[in-house]
Amino acid sequence: MRRRLGLVAAAALLLAPAAHAARPTPSAVFGLRAVGNPKVGYFVYDLGHGATQSGAVIVSNVGTRTGTARLYAVDATTGATTGTVYVTDRAPRLQGRWVSLAQSHVTLAPGKHARVAFTVHVPRSAKPGQWVAGIVAENVVHRTSRRTKGRTGVRINVRDLTIVAVQVNVPGRAVASFAVGGITAGGSNGYQTLLVHLANTGNLLRKPGGTVSISNGHGAVERLPFHMDTFLPQTAIDYPLLLRKALAPGSYTATVRLSFDSAGGRARTTTAVRSFAVSNHDVTQVFTSAAPTKPAPGTTSGSSRSSTPWLLIGALAGAGVLVLLLVAALLRSRRRPSAESAAGAPIGSSPAPAADTAAVADLPARTEPEPPPAADMPAPADEPAFERADDDCRPYHYWEVAYDRGELGGDGVWRFPHRCRNCGLEVLAENVDDAAAQTARAPQPS
């Protein structure tokens, strides 16, 4: 009985630290556990200049197949969206060099684990502060890549890393400070952002919060609160803030208030006022559906693309054989009226919102869909008839889009009122495809 109980207890002790990671196909799955530092689950060492500390990690294979883990140390830095991230694609140059592992590889059968020793050596030249490195267990697998045929596709090779942090606190004068740099407009795929350059110029890990208040010549425009994850000392990022309301082209002022704990633990705030501008190109870049990396041909700083549906122009050309032929040619150049295209489209004559008007309401500068080249878009057999009456919304609506009344949805997607010029139906949609899809589900107006 004692022996049985002992076996049960031993088994429980062995299994206790193992995670239960489900995996559909047999493979090795590696876990890491920090030995000797159970309070936080990762390593935190207070080490003076020139000091050396020994430690160990337990690497466990909680998968279902024998596998090999590659073990190595890496530098840590602050991710673009804040938070500690690790630089795993190059040899360490900073604190990762302080960590030396006794083994570079470990092969484990399922359910087995191994203790791997390491040392942390702090150079005499190290600066005081809280510094972070990481110990990586990377699953070493060799898989054959496949190629897709016939269509344009994407093949993603995945590296799978598990990391445990090694934080080293080097004694000395503790400083908590941040610097606010410039602000630029950015974004893509319908998401407009502000990039705020921030630097942790101190030597302490901090998780700042704060606000960015945007104004223009007409007053307050938008206030963006934010809460950051860990910001590592002596690192800098361009922190992206998602705008809730799109900014029209123009000049703005942003007041950045950054709050964080001082070295003594008291709340401290750094305030900076920065100017920035939103150009037509910035807005076009964001609100063109596929976010081309270059401005479309013909883009100039003083113009924007047309907000008038291209097909509408054809419809308004009126009656007459010549006009019908023109319309026919135009209609044949696209599969259906709601198709969108951006790249290569010329800039239309619709005026961009004036820079000195209220920013939020004037959004647009969104690129209106342009027809793709006729050669690439053969007309389907069921192309709409030319003699379609203006008040007939079947099979298509003629959408007019109010880009100045865009709304950012809870899902982070901008939607704009789409109103059919002929039947007056209005829907809030991401684009004309979305509008068409919505109306296809809803009863048509009589």
Partner 1 sequence: MRILAATLLAALVAAPAALGASFTFTVNTTSPVTAPGVTLNGDDQTTTFTMSYTVAYTGGNNNAGWHVSASSTALTSGSATLPAMQVTTVAEACGGSCTTAPNNSVTWPVTLGTTAQEIYNAATTTGRGTFSLTPTFQVSYPANAQPGTYSATVTVTGATGP
Q: Give least dist CB 400 to partner 1, A.
A: 20
Which residues are paired to 140 by β-bridges?
A: 68
Ramachandran category for residue 187: left, alpha or beta (phi over 0 → left; psi -120 to 50 → alpha): left
C-alpha–C-alpha distance, residues 231 and 318, integer Å: 62
Q: Answer yes or no whether residue 265 interacts with partner 1 by CB under 8 A.
A: no
Judged by CB, which is closer to partner 1: 8, or 354? 8
The pair of structure tokens assigned to 309 is 């549906």
Q: Which of 88, 177, 234, 253 binds partner 1 (CB under 8 A)?
A: 88
Under rule CB under 8 A, residue 304 binds partner 1:
no
DSSP letter, residue 231: B
Residues 330-349 that bind partner 1 (CB under 8 A): 335, 339-344
Residue 35 interacting with partner 1 (CB under 8 A): yes
**Which of the residues 162 through 181 are near partner 1 (CB under 8 A)?**
162-165, 167
Q: Does 430 bind partner 1 (CB under 8 A)?
A: no
Instruction: Determine which residue in the list 3, 124, 151, 266 makes contact with partner 1, applying CB under 8 A.
Output: 151
Residue 53 buriedness (CB in 10 A; 0-12 / 13-18 / 19+): middle
Q: Which of 125, 158, 387, 440 binds partner 1 (CB under 8 A)?
A: 158
Nearer to partner 1, 142 or 173 (CB): 142
Q: Which of 69, 71, 73, 76 binds partner 1 (CB under 8 A)?
A: 76
Q: Sign of dihedral through CA atoms 433, 436, 440, 442?
A: positive
Q: How far is the CB of 117 from partner 1 (least distance, A)?
A: 17
Q: Which of 3, 93, 125, 153 binds partner 1 (CB under 8 A)?
A: 153
Question: What does DSSP assign to residue 346?
Answer: P
Half-sphere exposure of 154 (CA within 13 A, CB side): 2
Length of the chain measured in residues: 446
Name which of 353, 397, 400, 340 is nearest 190 in CA terms.
Answer: 340
Could you say which of 46, 50, 52, 80 contacts partner 1 (CB under 8 A)? 80
Instruction: Identify the residue whose tokens are 């100017």.
Output: 275
Per-residue burial over 217-243, b if 16 or more Cβ lie within 10 Å, else e, is eeeebbebebebebbbbebbbbbbbeb
Min dist. Cβ of residue 323 to partner 1 (A): 25
66 binds partner 1 (CB under 8 A): no
Q: Does position 25 bind partner 1 by CB under 8 A? A: yes
Question: Considering only residues 93, 157, 265, 382, which one is a binding residue for partner 1 as defined by CB under 8 A?
Answer: 157
With CB under 8 A as the contact rule, the residue among 188, 255, 262, 357 that binds partner 1 is 188
The only residue of 89, 125, 389, 443 in contact with partner 1, by rule CB under 8 A: 89
Look up tokens 């004037």; give the residue.
Answer: 362
